[in-house]
Structure 1
Amino acid sequence: MMRRWFSPLLSLPLVLGLAACQPEPPQSVGDTAPAAAEIATIPDDPDPALWVLKDDDTTIYLFGTVHILKPGLTWFDEAVKDAFDRSDELVVEMIEPEPAEMMKIVSELAIDKTGVPLRDKLDPEDRVKYEAAMTSLELPLNAFDPLDPWFASVSMSLVPLMKSGYDTNSGVEDALTSSAKAKNLKIIGLETPRQQLGFFDNLPEDVQIRFLNFNVETIEEMADGMENMVAHWANANIGALAELMNAGLEEEILYETLLSNRNANWAVWVDDRMDQPGTVFMAVGAGHLAGESSLQEQLKKRGFTVEQIKY
C-alpha cells in the first residue's frame, strides 16, 4: 500500500532548478507502472481548481500550480485561460534566476561547511538504506557527500520523476510566465531564490536528516506519488491534495516553514494588494491552496470572501 507522500514540488518551484546542479539522471527508465488501485486517474481534460476574491476595483485569482509535469497536459484553457487573459499582472512564488545566479546561490547554501561527508552523518541503518536508494537511482554513492542533507533529499527525489517522463521545463509556472512575457504583463515574485532555498537550509540538521530519511524510505513510491498528486490536482480534488501535503510534514517546524508561515505572509501581501485597483492572476503551489492552513483560510481570517470558480 502506498504510504503518505510529500513532494516539495507542491510547494517550492526553486527545487526544479536543482536539477541542473545534480548528477544527470540515467536515461534508462525503470519499472514505474502505478498500481491501478492506488493511483487516481489523470483526466483527458484537466480542470484544476481556481478561486477568486474581489472588491469594487480589484480582482485576484488564486490558482494552484504543479512545478513539474509531463509534456502535453492541457490545463491552460477554459476558466483558467479566461482568468489569465483578464489579468493585468502575474504573481508567482519566485522569479526564476539565471543559471549562473542559481549556481552561485546553491554553492553558498547547499555545500556543507563542516567537512563531514553526508553519509557519515547518517546512523548505520539509515546509511545502508540511503546507499541502497542511491544505487537504485544509478547515482554514485558519494554524489551528495559534500552537500547538506536537505539538498540531497530534494535532488534525489527529482531523479525518479525525470526518469518517469516528468520535465522540469513543463511546469505550470513555465507556461504562465511565457504567456505573461508575450503579453507584456507585469510579473511579481513573492519570494527570492535565496529565500526559497533558505527555507530548507535554515532547518536544523537533525530535521534535514529526518526529511532525507523519509524520502529514502519512499523513493520507490515517488513516481506513483507524483502521478497521484497530479491526478488530484487535475481533478480539483482539494481534500486529497491537503492530505498529501501533510505527508512527511508531521514535524511542526517543517509544516510551518514550508507551508503555514509562507501562507500567512502571502495573505498579508494579498491584503495590501486589494487596496490597489486591477486584476491579478496569482499562481502558487497547489499545496498552499489546500488544507486548514491554506492561503484561502488565512485570507478568510482577514475578512475576505474567497470563492471557488466552478467550470
Structure 2
Amino acid sequence: MVRFFALLLVFFSTLSFAEPLYWGAQKGKTQFMIVGSIHVGEQNMYPLPKAVTQFLKSSDGLIVEADIRKFSPSDLPAPTVKTEQVLDAKSNKELKSISQKLGLDVSILQKSPPWATALTLQIGQFKELGLSPALGVDHRVMALAEMNSVPIIGLETVGFQFSLLTDLPDGGKSLLKNTLDEFDKSFGYSKCLVKAWKAGDKTTLDRFAEQTSFSRDFDNKFIFSRNRDWAKKLSSKNFLPVNDGKYLIVVGALHLVGKDNLLTLLKRRGFTVKQLSSSEQAHCKI
C-alpha cells in the first residue's frame, strides 16, 4: 500500500548529527534549494536546518506542491461512492475494529467516500503517534515565508491534489482495502521511515520507493506524472515570478528519491544538482 501512506507520513527521530535531505540546483543564474517535505509532524522536528531557513529569508519565493491556504472543503465534489457500498463483510469488520481503536465514529466513515475513509484512518494513526498536520514541514515553512514577506507559489492547486483521490476507481476502494489490510504493519513502516527521513538516509528512502508500490497506474498518477509536470514548470521562465532568481522548493520527500524523481528530471533539463545536507544511515530495514 505504502506508497500513498508514505506521502502522508511524518518522520521524526532523536538522531543528533544528520539532517533531512536538501539539495542545491542551478541552471544559469536560476538557483534552487530543494527540501524533502513531511506533511505532518511534531515539535521536535524543529528548527529546520539553518541553511534552509536562511536561504528562504533571502529568496525570491517559496515553491510548494500547493498553497494550502487557498482551499475550502466546500470545493470538494459530492461523493458518488460510499465506503459502505464497497466493503465486504470481512473488510467492514476490520473497519469497525480499527475505528474503535482510534476513537472514530464508524457510521460517519461508512457514509464517506472510500478514499476519505482511508485518509481519515491514516490521520487517526498519526495522532496515535502524537503527530499533527499543523506541525508539518509545509505549514512551518509557509508560515516562515509569510513572516518574511516571501511570495508563496504552488506547483499545483489543492483542488487538483484532491481530484487525484476523487477520481480513483470506485471512489478509492483499492486504496481503502489496502489501508485496512496493512494497517497494523504501518506502525513498523513508519518507525523506519521516521529514522530515514530525519537521518537524511537516501539509500533507505530509495529502497522504500522501489519496494513499496501501490500499482503502476497509481504510481504514475500520484508520483511520476506530477514529477514531470513540476520539472517542466521549474524549467520554464514563464512559471518563475523572477527570472534568474533564487527559490526554496519544498515537496514531499518521495518525489526526490527513486525512479524518475524530480532531481533526476531537473538534471535532464540542464540543472546541476548537488546534495547539501549531511546524512547518516538510519540502521533500519524496510
* Alpha-carbon distance in 1 for matches of 2:8, 2:133: 15
2:11 maps to 1:47? no
Q: How does 1:140-159 map to 2 (within 5 A)?
A: 140-159=105-124
* Alpha-carbon distance in 2 for matches of 1:222, 1:42: 20
Task: State the number of aligned residues.
Answer: 275
2:267 maps to 1:300? yes
Counterpart position of 1:249:
213
Contact 1:67 1:285 in 2 (8 A): yes
Counterpart position of 2:257:
290
1:160 partner amino acid: Q
Counterpart position of 2:52:
80
* Alpha-carbon distance in 1 for matches of 2:271, 2:243: 15
Counterpart position of 1:277:
244
Counterpart position of 1:173:
138
Partner SS, residue 65 of structure 2: strand
Partner SS, residue 97 of structure 1: helix
How far off its partner does 1:64 sit?
Answer: 0.5
How far off its partner does 1:47 sit?
Answer: 0.6
Counterpart position of 2:161:
196
Counterpart position of 1:26:
none
Contact 1:42 1:235 in 2 (8 A): no
Q: How does 1:1-311 map to 2 (within 5 A)?
A: 5-8=2-5, 10=7, 42-97=14-69, 101-106=71-76, 108=77, 111-113=78-80, 117-205=82-170, 208-246=172-210, 249-273=213-237, 276-311=243-278
* Alpha-carbon distance in 2 for matches of 1:219, 1:138: 15
* Alpha-carbon distance in 1 for matches of 2:39, 2:17: 19
* Alpha-carbon distance in 2 for matches of 1:224, 1:70: 18
How far off its partner does 1:60 sit?
Answer: 1.0
Return 5+ residue gaps in structure 2 as ranges.
279-286
* Alpha-carbon distance in 2 for matches of 1:133, 1:11: 19
2:40 partner amino acid: I
How far off its partner does 1:300 sit?
Answer: 2.3
1:48 partner amino acid: P
Contact 1:65 1:172 in 2 (8 A): yes
Q: Percent identity?
A: 21
How far off its partner does 1:56 sit?
Answer: 3.5
Return 5+ residue gaps in structure 1 as ranges.
17-38
- Say which structure is richer in helix: 2
1:85 partner amino acid: K
How far off its partner does 1:259 sit?
Answer: 0.5
How far off its partner does 1:8 sit?
Answer: 4.5
* Alpha-carbon distance in 2 for matches of 1:154, 1:247: 22
RMSD: 2.6
- TM value normalised by structure 2: 0.86
- TM value normalised by structure 1: 0.79
